Amino acid sequence: MSDDQLSLVPGKKKRVKAEVPIATNLPVAQVLIDSPLPHLDRIFDYAVPAKLESTAQPGVRVRIRFAGKLTDGWLISRSQESDHPGTLAALTNVISPEIVLTPEILELAKSVADRQAGTLSDVLRNAVPNRHAGAEATQFPAASEVACEATDAWQDYAGGEALIKRTLAGEQPRAIVTTGADNPATLLAQYATAIASAGKSIVIAVPDRAAIDRVVQELANVQCPKSAIAVLAADDGPSARYRNWLAVLRGSSQIVIGTRNAVFAPASNLAAVCVWDDWNDTLADPQAPYWHARDVAVLRSAQQNTALVLIGATMSVEACALMPWAVQVAKSRDQLRTQLPKVRSALDESGEKVNPAAAGSRIPSTVMQAIKSALAKGPVLVLVSRTGYTPRITCDACRTLASCSQCSGPLMQTARSSAPVCYLCGHIESNWHCKKCNGTSVRAAAVGSERTAEELGRAFPGIPVRSSSSDHILRTVDSRPAIVVATAGAAPIADGGYAAAMLLDGNSMLSRHELSATQDTYAKWNECVSLVRADGEVVVVAEATHPAVQALIRHDPAGFAQRELEERTQVALPPAVRLAALTGEPADVDDAVAILNLPAQFLIRGPVPDKNSQVRILVSCDRRLGLELSAQLKAMTAARSAKHKGGSVNVRIDPLNL
């Protein structure tokens, strides 16, 4: 242990070797060390040198010496005295005098860390972007005046105008807005300009860059000044992102739009926090402590007394669990029936009568007939579940999954006549043979977007076929007849809307072994339905009796969410309960559970085998006991981290990938 760190140990009176003049006013700084180690997730006292007295203010980044090394940290507060009995080590430097950590964001980050059983420094790493010195020298203009052009898009929504009026009055309405056939970007733009025209700020978190562009375009359509808009997205680069973030911090931009981290934006005079498509997993941070933008928005709305708006074509199960604390804002069922296209299943009784083999066909004849009829009116959207050509192949003789001879990874085909290629290592199997039956021919176990486009191109000669998937996303298509094959989330917007949409691979999407499989599939279907004209048609290739298909036919997202919530309540799964998943080596998980002192009302399930010889245990409790569960898990990880014994145990609160 270094000399500086000895001064932090109770009972030690060792003085620093080099005395420095200490500030006379509030000479003690409370510092949070920027470290992922759970046992260091606490406040340390440091002395404030006299030369840093004016710049070492709460909320700035500082550099300190800890365990013999220079380390970054956050100056949380300053005080006149310290409980530490020895001589304090001094701050080494103030990295920047810019006060970037506001009290509101600090309080929010603490709540997120407590809810997710994580460390505060991990949350702050997402809340405050990395510093860029050049951006701090930017002179930002004063806040622009924003005129509210119109709010007519909200008029047909029950409670829509009341939501805007209550927000402008400084109240805290909480709404779950289901948009049906309407463009959520239009509603958000009108809501944002109404708030900005009153001199207040709004934060809008969206799933991806395409959604950002749609909202920005709608804001331009209502004559919103560009200087009033700040876009916070990781793909903008560190300099541009930090500059836009500073524009929000200094009050130059009132409307904040960005991906998940934007939910922490330091907007002043905040009136509303909005989340578009809160069911989308891109809004969940993939790194510890695995927070979700929706949960952060809910916490921020409650702490800072702001409006909360969860908006999208569907209602998530997690949003439904917030009712009646939040209320639904939507159009009437009669309006939805006239504005949304007709939806039917290709596997219903009428479809089976036309083609008895339809249940075993990936593209039944009813789908082909619907495509042919719709092409006379305009473009047709075809939704598929997988990208690529043949992402999964099996032995043609015994149906065993084809695996790589080098790494045993799954094989795929990239073209009709190409040799199988390993998905993991890229090895080309030019002379593949089955390890089980020694067969040499393969067949498709799953069909991707590229092969679907090829098959439809042969079936409809002369009709353009376009693909849109994760590696090549189309944003828009024109109104001319064409077939657009897209994966979920990559469907382009058609000028004037699609004439029809064919939702393939429905049964396989619904049968995935994930808790969120049904909700995600239904939400992606709803997104496609909203892109089709009112006089168009949607055909879904899935069992007609499935609840998700029935809800899609009825245009009833709220009913679907309520049914899903009831089913999860019966089996004690999130969001009906608060649940934590502990994953690690068996000995480490056992050690972690032994440290926990859980009351009898906590339910422990497992262990069950997980990936790479690991095991997983699920711990669940009533939502009212969620903070107690998180506190115990946080104390457990800190205790195990301090011992430096055993391997790590991954802790996730309400994981998405159950």
**Cβ–Cβ under 8 Å, residues 261 and 292:** no
β-strand partners of 502: 382, 539
* Residue at 204: amino acid letter: I
Give the span between the Cα atoms of 467 and 464, in whole angstroms: 10
* Residue at 470: amino acid letter: S
Amino acid 17: pLDDT: 33
DSSP symbols for 269-283: SEEEEEEESTT-GGG
Q: Tell me, rounded to whole angstroms, the distance of Cα 540 from its chain centroid.
A: 26
* Residue at 644: amino acid letter: H
Name the DSSP letter for residue 44: E
Distances in Å between the Cα of 76 and the Cα atoms of 60, 73, 81, 123 are 8, 9, 15, 15
Amino acid 351: pLDDT: 52
Give the span between the Cα atoms of 435 and 257, in whole angstroms: 53
Give the span between the Cα atoms of 178 and 343, in whole angstroms: 18
Ranges of the chain with pLDDT below 70: 1-19, 349-360
Cis peptide before 324 (omega within 30 of 0): yes
**Cβ–Cβ under 8 Å, residues 528 and 493:** no
Residue keyed to tokens 């998530």: 316
**Cβ–Cβ under 8 Å, residues 398 and 387:** no
Give the span between the Cα atoms of 222 and 187, in whole angstroms: 11
φ/ψ of residue 312, rounded to 5: 170, 175
Q: Which two tokens stand for residue 163?
A: 């939501």
β-strand partners of 403: 410
pTM: 0.90
Give the span between the Cα atoms of 224 and 548, in whole angstroms: 39
Nearest 5 degrees, angle CA 513-CA 314-CA 308? 115
Amino acid 415: pLDDT: 76
pLDDT, one tens digit per residue, over 572-604 is: 999 999 999 999 999 999 999 999 988 888 999
**Cβ–Cβ under 8 Å, residues 547 and 563:** yes
